[in-house]
Structure 1
């Protein structure tokens, strides 16, 4: 071997080393493939080259990139969109292997093909290459086709080089056996790198699919909560992107990489995963007396018993000896008054059962008075119209949940944190538990479950807190409330920014960046999207 050849071998080894470093550091598969082709061309002094990728079902080769120095051609790859180039089928119509096309031959038999002169071989169909040559006034001669196989001998793609040239004279020459061995080594190394990246991508997709599987489970339990699990990640990313773009304000230095975005998105998807353990009758409790069914209907039945008993008392009194017409008329009037009072009380309890934002003390007292009515049950025992548990439920001051039920709902975040902290998160996702677990914390330390203050929370967790509240305010599908308008929601959120509930700096970005409007246009009912006067929003200064 001459000194020149030794120098070239050393140069090629260095190129392989550089490619190996590039393959290990890059996570962009299209970029990897382009780097592979460029290195292969340089290593063999080839005039042109084409790289095909195996289709997902391994039934064909799909064009990815083609370059040619003499023709100054660059097709496909990173700089262009999809190119309308025919795929190469790996099998014929009868199911047999396609061995006519040289690229399919190399892929099917998993071996390299080195041809000194494509026009002098009868082994393959080069009609397409002949047409290309005629159209571009080009002459294809030497050809090296190498399959790219991973560590399990699975086909990743095919690398094809055309017209090796002498580095001194520029004349076209055949590819040497040394060229072939180096390109086989390069193709093998590259295939494994690409395969690893595909595996990582597949695992990430699998993990996100498992996350969506959890949300599907929550959705099946509660369609309302399921939509919440879908919308909060979207709103979280909208606010985070607006913050990323912000050039002024206390948080102007906040920036996100692609990995940061994926981490935050994953946290958004998982922020309520603990609700998979929350009982359905608590999540879906639309009235105060609802458990597995709405017990207001049982109370209705008791009122019917009271009305029946009132009628029976009246009829018995009418049947007493000496009861005249005037007394009978008075008894009828008394009965109608009592029935009207009972109907009014029943209607009041029905309204109280619905729940709302605030129940007055007067209404609570009226419920307590009605609860003392006595009725006789099916077992013949006389008892209060409402038991203590029913009385407590109907006197819930706001919403439909008792203190015990609210604790069950609130416990979902503790379960979420325990679930997420139990997972062996990779480095680029290690903050998911903190981001997802902080969306019920408050800036003043009065939130739950850990009572964190602003300084103890990441920006991402504070972003998620705003997204969670705004989605809940505007959601129109909750069984216990109606969706608020944009103005109403921003008014409440603005007050939260003033009382230490949410981060006022993030709220400023939320309004100034029109994040609320972007979300509304995508996910809110048009009837809720009113004209917002930002100058009236509490805590915001236009």
Structure 2
């Protein structure tokens, strides 16, 4: 008598099937999903063991994914971390003929459920491997049910196989009933849908991430002086997020982020500078104050050579006149005056070359010297007497900090507005809706003096504040900026510390960044050895160690 013919028991198994179906639809972790499928099938069919196979990408093999046997206490694959030592089952031989001898292969090839009451007396299938396994373990493999898993397009996803149905009252091994067959096929169908959906989600995520990384790479490749920024900032942001989530002190004691929230932050990090696709290359790459398509300091060097040539011609003419007029005693003073002028021109040229490089600050007396040099006159290529420096050259050479004019700096700053505008137009799924906010906030300041929205600390999320620190630290430590040398860890932290004191960056995140040595983890991965110096935390301005 089939125990499972009981009406109440059948309803109970239907309820289990529905519960498993609901659980399958919400599970996103692939190994856990596979375990849930096999464990659910074992429970519904009251089987002693089972195997779940997945079809290879080329649909030529069945790959062992999970093996479970309660009596032998075997559990391999899935989330266990225990590898399965069996080779994939071939679905076809070398000549392309179907492998109908193996029951799992037969079910897969023919899209047919196979229900075998006793493998030892079954005909048409090769169970020699099963018998060998039984001899080795002392087990008795008896009833089998093997169900192909197919998606809505009848494409093979895998095979679900259960072994040794048990009578729940006596524990005796019995055949799988027709009801069991029906339930197994129903579960296999649900499992195929769940696996297909999971695979589609993973493939979509991979496509999405690949597209995002492609955009980040395009931005980095656009500028040889900014070639690592879009990849390093998200990595450092995630290091900070990990440290914050692990912190068991201060305001972050109870702070946490889910796997989906961390993924959202990662995507935001990859997209944080996407607006730079619209920024002109000559602005991004402006390595010196006079650079446009080329560095105009070379034109100024040529003008100095013209002035030196004219000075030499004037000196030679004066020397010749002195000799012809019988006043050779005037020659030494003329030569001294000439050498003095050449020396002054060489000094002025060196000075302008240094001004052109840019720096942290240019004093007013240096700016005045630029204005004085600008008053020199030279005969240009058209034979006209012109000022030595034009207004644009003076304007650029007298830039106070860095190499960008206020107008060029505004162009650079506008990239974040473009970033926000680009990102807010995308139809995000629910788990990515904060990407624009995270990506668009990395130039804001805690005191509201940042851009583009002038947000204060209270108006910003913690992840957005994390990215702000990551963006600054990467820029300070980078060795590919045209306007500065790569700084050591001490120099980077000292600058960040001053930014904390000036209410530029989040004070608590900065302290955690230093205390948890996030900077060192990043340095060991990305920085040069000469940059990784011994940091004396007592000399980092603004740093406050956590209270013990």
Give the TM-score band, short-chain normalised.
over 0.9
2:512 matches 1:509: yes
1:40 aligns with 2:49: no
- TM-score, structure 1 as length reference: 0.96
The SS at the match of 2:338 is: helix
Deviation at 1:4, TM superposition (A): 4.5
Offset of residue 528 of structure 1 = 1.3
Taking the aligned partners of 1:304 and 1:57, their CA distance within structure 2 comes to: 71
Q: CA deviation at 1:16?
A: 1.3
> What is the match of residue 350 of structure 1?
353
CA contact (8 A) 1:535 1:541 kept: no
- Mapped partners of 2:521, 2:444: distance in 1: 25
What is the match of residue 279 of structure 1?
Answer: 280
Contact 2:147–2:159 (8 Å) recurs in 1:
yes
* Counterpart in the other structure of 1:133: 134
Look up the match of 2:522.
519
Q: Which residue of 2 aligns with 1:384?
A: 387
Residue by residue, what CA displacement relative to the aligned partner does 1:139-192 show, whole Å, maximum 9, x if unpaired? 222221111111122222110111223334433333233322221111011110
Contact 2:3 2:167 in 1 (8 A): no
Unmatched tracts of structure 2, length 5 or more: none
Q: Superposition pairs for residues 276-425 of structure 1, below 5 Å? A: 276-320=277-321, 321-322=324-325, 324-425=327-428
Aligned residue number for residue 531 of structure 1: 534
- Distance in 2 between the 1:226 and 1:110 partners? 52
- Asked if 2 retains the 8 angstrom alpha-carbon contact of 1:215 and 1:226, the reply is no
SS in 2 for 1:120: coil
* Alpha-carbon distance, 1:448 to partner: 0.3
Q: Which among 438, 446, 449 is matched to residue 449 of structure 2?
A: 446
Q: Aligned partners of 1:55 and 1:61: how far apart in 2?
A: 6
Cα 1:352/1:74, change in 2 over 3 Å: same
| CA pair 523-3 structure 1, distance change in 2 beyond 3 A | closer
Q: CA deviation at 1:122?
A: 4.1
**Residue in structure 1 matched with residue 229 of structure 2 by the alignment:** 228
Q: CA RMSD in A?
A: 1.9
Where does residue 18 of structure 2 map in the other structure?
17
Structure 2: distance between partners of 1:118 and 1:2 = 21
1:472-521 Cα distance to aligned partner (Å, 9 max, x none): 11112211101111111111111111111011111111112121222222
Does the CA-based 8 Å contact 2:4-2:179 persist in structure 1?
Answer: no
Structure 1 residues 158, 223: CA separation in 2 closer, same or farther (over 3 Å shift)?
A: farther
Q: Which deviates the most, 432-441 or 509-518?
A: 509-518
Please show how residues 88-167 of structure 1 align to structure 2 within 5 Å. Answer: 88-167=89-168
**Could you report, residue by residue, the CA deviation over 1:251-281 in whole angstroms, capped at 9, with x for unpaired residues?**
3221111111111111111111111211111
Please identify, of 198-207 and 445-454, the stretch whose mean Cα deviation from structure 2 is larger: 198-207
* Residue in 2 that maps onto 1:183: 184
- Residue correspondences, number: 542
Partner of 1:499: 502
Gaps of 5+ in 1: none
Deviation at 1:465, TM superposition (A): 0.8
Q: Structure 2: how far apart are the matches of 1:476 and 1:201?
A: 36
C-alpha displacement of 1:68:
1.7
TM-score of the aligned structures, taking structure 2 as reference length: 0.95
Relative to structure 1, is the Cα distance of residues 45 and 541 closer, same or farther in structure 2, using a 3 angstrom cutoff? closer
Find the counterpart in structure 2 of residue 202 from structure 1.
203
What's the secondary structure of 1:144's corresponding residue? strand
